[in-house]
Amino acid sequence: MKFRHIIWDFNGTIIDDVSLGVEVFNEIRAECSLAPITKSDYVENFRIPVKDFYEQMGFDFSKFDFRAIGRRFVELYTPRRFDCPLTKGLADAVADFAERGTTQSVLSAYESGLLRGAVGHYGLTRYFTRVDGLDNIDAGSKIELGRRHIAALGVPASTVLMVGDTPHDKEVADSMGAGCALVACGHTSRRRLEKSGVPVFENPEELREFFNSKNF
């Protein structure tokens, strides 16, 4: 069965913000007297909910307030977010799928107001039937949001493909009963993504080329 609808993750899937994420994360680490990490460290350990990632990377939340750190991340990240380009081939991919009659939407752990503003900034709003983010800045699980998202779409889950850049996106797809494909241009290393047991593409360009060859 061909997929009739694509749900896109945002950070790391639509926009290439990994370098900015590492930069801001290290600025916060410095403020908390923690040593910087490399991009390799980041993509080998990043996870959602991000609180788990922070704890794994040495933040002791008996000493630090997670909500305060989250607010600080937003303060540092937001003024620079539009410096981030779209991921390779993303613009062509969403335009191509739209031309084929495949509907599309966005599902993200990004705060909903910031998410919609970013989608609009990149000129992508016209491609998406829904743009759903969380109602907070905690970047927590989006499983419940995903269930509401797919219910609102009104299309059979078996005809939906979730495209993301983390193992959590596979978990979300499973919870919705949807298919999943992952891209390795985001916040998780290809090595880790390949353990998810779903197709992994380097970027949206490679994903689009694959589905074009399969008459998606």
Number of domains in the chain: 2
Residue type, 99: E
pTM of the model: 0.94
pLDDT at 211: 87
pLDDT at 140: 65
Structural domain of 113:
5-16+85-213
Query: Do 115 and 22 belong together in one domain?
Result: no
Query: Do 105 and 155 belong together in one domain?
Result: yes
Query: Do 158 and 111 belong together in one domain?
Result: yes
Domain final position from 83, 103, 130: 83
Count other C-beta atoms under 10 Å from residue 151's C-beta. Answer: 10
Query: Do 69 and 122 belong together in one domain?
Result: no
CATH code for the domain in which residue 143 is found: 3.40.50.1000
Domain final position from 83, 104, 136: 83
Query: Do 90 and 79 belong together in one domain?
Result: no
| Structure tokens given for 164 | 């993301």
pLDDT at 141: 80
Confidence class for position 134, pLDDT limits 50, 70, 90: confident
- Residues 199, 181: Cα–Cα separation, whole Å: 5
- Residues 183-201 have a mean pLDDT of 97
**Given a cut of 70, is residue 137 above it in pLDDT?**
no
